[in-house]
Chain A
Amino acid sequence: MSILEVKDLKKSFGKTEVLKGVSFNLEEGEVLSIIGSSGSGKTTILRCINQLETADSGYINVAGNVFFDGGIKKESASEKRKRQLLVGLVFQDFHLFPQYNVLDNVTLAAKLLAKERADYKHNKKQIIAEIEEKAKVLLAKVGLSEKLSNYPCELSGGQKQRVSIARALIMEPKVLFFDEPTSALDPELTGEILKVIKGLAEDNVTMVIVTHEMSFAKAVSSKVIFMDNGVIEEAGTPEEVFDNPKSERTKAFISKFED
């Protein structure tokens, strides 16, 4: 069974129909890249899956859990939260917590969640130590071992984004989503982020990446979707979409990125 299943997803804001029926599947360990021009609905797809927006109709399933199936149902905040922990989202502009240092940014949510464990009172010290150890491993992986006690305002954009990736990873989501993770960065800083994401792909982390970095998308993805005006104009392997696009619109879009 697919780890992520999206069927006929529709979403309007007021009178503008932003998603006009979007369907795709993703298997465990795969990387999906979503490309397309600005305003085509890429962010909205991620926001609907990550429960930041509620779709109008369609179906979303993550790791066997129904996230959405059309109607708005009454449910407790805790059910929504349980699902929330299955997905992770890295924002274009990081949204780090400015008052916490790098280590605390990464551990905060995990520590709060750990308080709900039955054995928390007995093993508090050990649980906290484990979370901090895990955070340090992740921060080493993204190359920030030297910055544990720095505050976000002391970091470059690329470093901030690497913290936010570690912050998402510590919650161990089944699928990790990236919304243009390099778009807020100076061009010379995009490389360090793309390298981190490539590393994750090698570790078989299941990911969905909205990006304008075409050669990166081609190299890292198992599947590519080209979004145009609220619909999937073309989908396939990177070779199919980038080297032999069937649709004229896809061709036109991709040719804009070739020099």
Chain B
Amino acid sequence: MFEREILETVIPRLADGFIVTLEIFFLTLLISLPAGLIISFGSMSKFKPLKLATKTLVAVIRGTPLVLQLIVIFYGPGLLASWAQSVENPNFLIEWIATWHVMDRFVAVIASFSLNYACYFSEIYRGGIESISKGQYEACQVLGMTKTQAFFKVVLMQVVKRIIPPMSNEIITLVKDTSLARVISIYELIWAGEVFIKLNGLLWPLLATGIFYLAFNGLLTVVFGKIENKLNYYKT
């Protein structure tokens, strides 16, 4: 079973899949970490329509499965375009929709993952920001700090300390969620392992993918633990 030849084909294939998994992971984080902050500001806005729109978006995204969002974002534009092409006497909007294309698979994955995780992160950010007592802002104000100074010099660090544990949970979930990309035929790690069941009747390559996830999540856990320890020099 563990002949060298097989090993030599399996390992590179798994590595290829793992690289795609890492791409999805890092690109999603790169987009969703800042996007989540913007969404959290929207959901805390004093401008009611914006607040309502943001809260609705977050509720829909958090209330439906990521797989569903992935499928809708991937097939949606193409389906809409073919519908638009069949409309008689289209107006300019429908004409424009008719020019849409089927989305690139990888773009669809990054878009849906980023949107999904941005919404989850936004709730964590919001919880963190709202957990800072009014007294901290008031102390800054009476000492003559500007609102910007109060946020960046006093509040932000306290928010970061509070959100690290829930953020690390969410990020570890993201590592595992990357496997959902196979639903729209993205060749990620699980798929790479699964291929060998069909091809050679080998189960162990699929099981071996588990080691990749474990190792990567282990690394993340250690890193987050280190950050938490670093911030443990004070209590709020």
Contact A99 B142, CB 8 Å, known A108-B153, A112-B153: no
User: Residue-by-residue, is B159-190 near A (CB-CB < 8 Å gives 1, otherwise 0)?
Assistant: 00100000000000000000000000000000
> Is there a chain B Cβ closer than 8 Å to A36's Cβ?
no
Give the Cβ gap from A202 to chain B, nearest Cβ, in Å.
24
A contact residues around B47 at 8 Å (CB): none
Q: Do residues B234 and A151 form an inter-chain contact, with CB atoms below 8 A? A: yes
Interface segment, B6-14, B74-82, B144-152, B202-210?
B144-152
Please judge, given known A-B contacts A98-B158, A153-B234, whether A91 and B144 are in contact too, CB under 8 Å.
Answer: no
Which residues of chain A from 74 to 110 have a CB within 8 Å of any chain B CB?
Answer: 77, 81, 84-85, 87-89, 91, 93, 95-99, 108-109
Q: A93-B135, A108-B153, A112-B149 are in contact. Are A99 and B234 (CB under 8 A)?
A: yes
Q: What is the bound-complex CA distance between A151 and B145, given in angstroms?
A: 21
A190 at the interface (CB under 8 A from B): no
- Assess the B143–A51 pair: CB atoms within 8 A: no
In the complex, whether B45 has a CB less than 8 A from a CB of chain A is no
Partner of A98, one of B142, B146, B149, B235: B235
Contacts of B149 on A, CB cut-off 8 Å? 112
Q: A50–B142 Cα gap in the complex (Å)?
A: 7
Within the assembled complex, what's the spacing in Å between the Cα atoms of A99 and B235? 8
Verify if A171 is at the interface (C-beta below 8 Å from B). Answer: yes
A152 at the interface (CB under 8 A from B): yes
| Chain B: CB-nearest residue to A52 | B138
Using an 8 Å CB-CB cutoff, how does the interface string of A135-173 with B read, 1 for contact, 0 for none? 000000000000000011100000000000001100100
CB pair A52 B142 closer than 8 Å: yes
Q: Which of B141, B143, B158 contacts A167 (CB 8 A)?
A: B143
B142-A87 in contact (CB<8A): yes
Q: Which residue of B lies closest to A153 (CB)?
A: B235
Is B143 a contact of A171 with CB atoms below 8 Å?
Answer: yes
**Given known A-B contacts A152-B234, A153-B234, A84 and B142 have beta carbons under 8 A apart:** yes
Assembly CA distance A93 to B161 (angstroms): 22
Min CB–CB distance B97 → chain A (angstroms): 45
- A108–B142 Cα distance when bound, in Å, is 13
Interface residues of B in 66-106 (CB under 8 A from A): none
Q: Considering the complex, give the chain B residue whose CB is closest to the CB of A113.
A: B144
Against A, the Cβ 8 Å flags (1 = close, 0 = not) of B220-236 are: 00000000000001111
B-contacting residues of A (Cβ < 8 Å)?
50-52, 77, 81, 84-85, 87-89, 91, 93, 95-99, 108-109, 112-113, 151-153, 167-168, 171
3 tightest CB-CB pairs across the interface, nearest first?
A: A109-B143, A95-B139, A95-B135
